[in-house]
A and B are shown apart, each in its own frame.
Chain A
Amino acid sequence: MSELTLTVMRLGFLAVLWLFVIVAVQVIRSDLFGTRVTQRGARREGAGRAAARQQAAPPPQRAQSGGRQRRGAPTKLVVSEGTLTGTTVALQGQTISLGRAHDSTIVLDDDYASSRHARIYPDRDGQWIVEDLGSTNGTYLDRTRLTTPTPVPLGAPIRIGKTVIELRK
């Protein structure tokens, strides 16, 4: 064997060995798992269910439907009472599900909430509607228990168990 061939093989072998190490490290890098902060705000309900099944939740899709929104329409949903006080969700035309089920948009940690308690969604005109999903303890808009899907005025308290939610600008 010529000296040149052997030298090329020697260096080539070292290169291949290191390539393996580098590939292995790349696998580790792509394999990091553990806890990840998932943005759940903009997830659609249908997608939400599917995403809860598949473990790695895809990054939320940013549905820009701002052009359709009317002036004076609410832009965010705020939890004003209960354990989740202070949580806000941007309203971007998506359906927001509320309940104890862990795939809900807002997961209520509330003894009086059902697993799929209620949902809040925009109708065709962009008016936000709250609908009770047959919950055990009911959903209240102001003081009245909901029986049918009802439009939500700005700032009106929606009460689910001990949790109070409002739509705000």
Chain B
Amino acid sequence: MSSSSNSHTSTIGAIGAPSRRNTELALLVFAVVIPLFAYMNVGLAISGELPPGMLGYGLGLGLLAGVAHLVVRKFAPYADPLLLPLATLLNGLGLVVIWRLDQSERLQQLGKASFGAYNAAAPKQLLYSAIGIALFVAVMMLLKDHRVLQRYTYISMIAAMGLLLLPLVPGLGKNIYGAKIWIQVGGFSIQPAEFAKIVIAVFFAGYLMVKRDALALASRRFMGLYLPRGRDLGPILAVWAMSILILVFETDLGTSLLFFGMFIVMLYVATERTSWIVFGLLMSAIGAVTVASFEPHVKVRVDAWLDPFSKEVINQTGTDQIAQSMMAFGSGGTLGTGLGQGNSDLIGFAANSDFILATYGEELGLAGVMAVLLIYGLIVERGVRTALAARDPFGKLLAVGLSGAFAIQVFVVAGGVMGLIPLTGMTMPFIAYGGSSVIANWALVGILLRISDTARRPAPSPAPNPDAEMTQVVRP
């Protein structure tokens, strides 16, 4: 073909993607079957018989996935075929591992000792997943076009600020183990930062879309770097100051890192200037070191990161979570001990939320953790791919921001649990126990699917024009 191609007229045109909904359905079935297999495996390993709730969980997860699929089929027929199955698989695996930790007698006793009674987490997590899917469905049905969000650029800035500051409001905010990132409404603890990350992505996308030319073009070149003008540094300084304030007052490294990192990623994508990344890394390093030197809670976390096995640190923090987590990863080895056969419950408190990856590390081993991380990577890849395919700059920036936030969150949590960076109070999206996280991340996936539907939808065929012979179509 190539030898004779030069004798033909070549036309370069966009190929519209087919809708791929059946591919999604097939993958979705696969993504529901895998957690069921895991569930069976855990039951057989722990009690030697099939778990009693297997049918219920399977039907529940299958029903949720089916509803999500039908809604996507109806409202976003050209959306990405992979995002939904990947998210479903992570959510399902998370449910199984949370259920597996529910079976641990050690954790049950710990729960009774500290709260008086042990509440099984898996049914609650299933409920949160259902609420998450409901929000996903709502996003799909109500958000017909992601560009609508562009109108709310500055409102979302205020909303995000409000959400971030809520935990500091006296009476509403709740200090759980040193970090003030929760609020208490009724009987529920909510982590507003999880929702703020979506809202603030909308603000950054709308803001950078307008300002990116000024930020990209007005700069001087110095030592291979483009130095922005002093006044263009304003926004980055403001976001930096905000993330430092979060770090100081809420003492949460994760949230602070998430927002600043997100801003840097979006700034880089909007302006194509490497210098922003250099500035961002420098500023976050300066900020983190400065705060860690005087804020006791952050300092303890840093000490625990530097030397997790020292007696001093364990006495100081009152827990050997990080040490236990690293032991769990180590004892898992390459292929793991098998589901339900590890001792990751030794982590104790937060074994099923912040530290849930350690259970994967122990029971599925390096092979399993790599697969899980790859699935996260694929979700991020699909987000970035959506950004590449999106036609409007706002959609591009929003998709990059959301997938960037997702990636940073995975990095911050996985890095914290594995001892690469200091531990933070964030949760692994989808697999960790926690209502806010699951619900917010389903909404995030919903928005990404909406953008990808718009991006992949083939251009509408031009209406037949009776005057076509006379007039000329001017294409933009």
Contacts and interface: CB of A to CB of B under 8 A. Distances in A.
Given A39-B10, A40-B9, A7 B338 contact: yes
B41 interface: yes
Contacts of A5: 44
B120 interface: no
A116 B17 CA distance: 28
Contacts, number: 155
A35 interface: yes
B16 A111 contact: no
A6 B266 CA distance: 46
Interface in A37-77: 37-42, 53, 55-57, 59-60, 76
A125 B382 CA distance: 55
Interface string B1-24: 100110111111111111010010
B368 interface: yes
Contact of B11 (A12, A20, A37): A37
Contact of A40 (B4, B11, B17, B473): B11
Nearest to A59: B1
A115 B17 CA distance: 27
Contacts of A18: 367, 371
Given A53-B461, A90-B7, A34 B30 contact: no
B395 interface: no
A6 B335 contact: no
B12 A35 contact: yes
Contacts of A100: 472-473
Contacts of A13: 34, 37-38, 41, 339, 364, 368
A131 B27 CA distance: 52
A34 B389 CA distance: 8
A156 interface: no
B15 A34 contact: yes
Bin the interface of chain B by size.
35 or more
B318 to A, nearest CB: 34
Contact of A1 (B11, B48, B335): B48
Interface string B328-363: 000000011111010000000000000000000000
A94 B153 CA distance: 55
Given A17-B368, A106-B9, A6 B86 contact: no
Contact of A24 (B38, B86, B335, B468): B86
Interface string A83-95: 0000111100000
B81 interface: yes
A99 B23 CA distance: 38
Interface string A125-160: 000000000111000000000000000000000000
B371 A27 contact: no
A163 interface: no
Contacts of A107: 11
Contacts of B9: 39-41, 87-89, 105-106
Contacts of B23: 27
Contacts of A16: 34, 37
B45 A1 contact: yes
Contacts of B4: 90
A164 B303 CA distance: 78
15 contacts: A6-B45, A6-B341, A10-B41, A10-B341, A13-B364, A13-B368, A14-B336, A17-B364, A17-B368, A27-B27, A28-B382, A35-B13, A36-B13, A57-B15, A135-B469
The 4 closest A-B pairs by CB, nearest first: A41-B8, A55-B16, A10-B338, A33-B17
Given A35-B14, A134-B469, 11 more contacts: A9-B45, A24-B375, A31-B17, A38-B11, A39-B8, A40-B11, A55-B458, A89-B8, A107-B11, A115-B468, A136-B469
